[in-house]
């Protein structure tokens, strides 16, 4: 049996204790967002101010969703990971709602933002990029939201984001994935190399970068030296509260 078949069930961001599926959570978050939008429409019109969010970037296999989940519980905010964002971006009815809202409240900005992200002056923007940007902005209004993956720290206004990068050695990641999926570490390492390649390709297409340089972030944490996910979540929450103490 080859390694791909052995761990074909693994999805980046997989967390056994997560609970509801991405589709269920996406529908829940969109419903909550729509309820807030309706309530706001009944009040006197006022400029929309995005609350601060946490955006976590990571190497695949690091265990980020468990850490983000712990932080989200401390802040009592939604945890929005890659699977949820992709579900919204790829589901027609949900993406239409966020696109319509974004175009109404941020007129003309989606094209400028997409050009800024890709570094291109003119291009044909894919529906996925357009839907992703609108979904991130719409869900950020439900904050304090915690976003995981998809380079959200480059999509939202930088002064409204605590940007966190979680890294770890290949040895750490392979050991963790092998234990999680009950496979050989060599097979886990092989699959992680493929995930890393796919991640670099995504960053190249959307952000014009091969990876996420350290100077893009407020904090970078190496998980090789932190044994407890809760301790990392505590650092993130503390940094968030410190950075946005006046907001």
pLDDT in tens, 146-174: 999 878 888 888 999 999 999 999 999 99
Cα four-point dihedral sign 150, 151, 157, 160: positive
Cβ atoms of 229 and 66 within 8 Å: the answer is yes
- The SS3 call for residue 88 is helix
Cβ atoms of 156 and 136 within 8 Å: the answer is yes
Cβ atoms of 212 and 165 within 8 Å: the answer is yes
Question: What's residue 7's pLDDT?
Answer: 44
pLDDT in tens, 82-106: 778 777 777 756 556 666 666 666 6
Candidate from 111-115, 133-137, 202-206, 215-219 with smallest mean pLDDT? 111-115
19: left (phi over 0), alpha (psi -120 to 50) or beta: left
Q: What share of the chain is helix, strand, coil (3-state, %, to 5)?
A: 60, 10, 30
pLDDT in tens, 200-243: 887 777 666 666 788 889 999 999 998 799 999 999 999 999 99
The pTM of this model reads: 0.76
* Cα–Cα distance for residue pair 68/235, rounded to 1 Å: 11
């Amino acid at each position: 049996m080859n390694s791909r078949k052995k761990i074909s069930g693994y999805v980046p961001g997989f967390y056994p204790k997560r609970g509801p599926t991405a589709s269920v959570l996406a529908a829940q978050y969109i419903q909550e967002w729509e309820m807030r939008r309706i309530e706001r429409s009944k009040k006197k019109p006022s400029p929309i101010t995005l609350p601060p969010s946490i955006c976590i970037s990571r190497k695949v296999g690091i265990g980020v969703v468990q850490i983000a989940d712990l932080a989200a519980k401390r802040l009592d905010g939604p945890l929005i990971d890659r699977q949820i964002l992709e579900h919204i971006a790829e589901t027609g009815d949900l993406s239409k709602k966020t696109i319509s809202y974004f175009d109404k409240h941020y007129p003309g900005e989606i094209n400028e933002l997409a050009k800024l992200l890709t570094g291109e002056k003119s291009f044909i923007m894919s529906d996925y990029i357009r839907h992703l940007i609108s979904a991130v902005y719409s869900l950020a209004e439900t904050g304090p939201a915690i976003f995981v993956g998809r380079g959200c720290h480059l999509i939202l206004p930088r002064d409204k984001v605590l940007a966190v990068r979680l890294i770890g050695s290949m040895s750490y990641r392979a050991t963790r994935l092998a234990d999680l999926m009950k496979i050989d570490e060599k097979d886990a390492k092989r699959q992680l190399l493929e995930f890393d390649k796919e991640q670099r390709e995504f960053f190249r297409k959307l952000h014009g970068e091969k990876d996420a340089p350290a100077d893009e972030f407020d904090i970078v944490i190496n998980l090789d030296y932190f044994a407890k996910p809760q301790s990392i979540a505590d650092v993130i929450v503390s940094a968030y509260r410190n950075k946005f103490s006046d907001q």
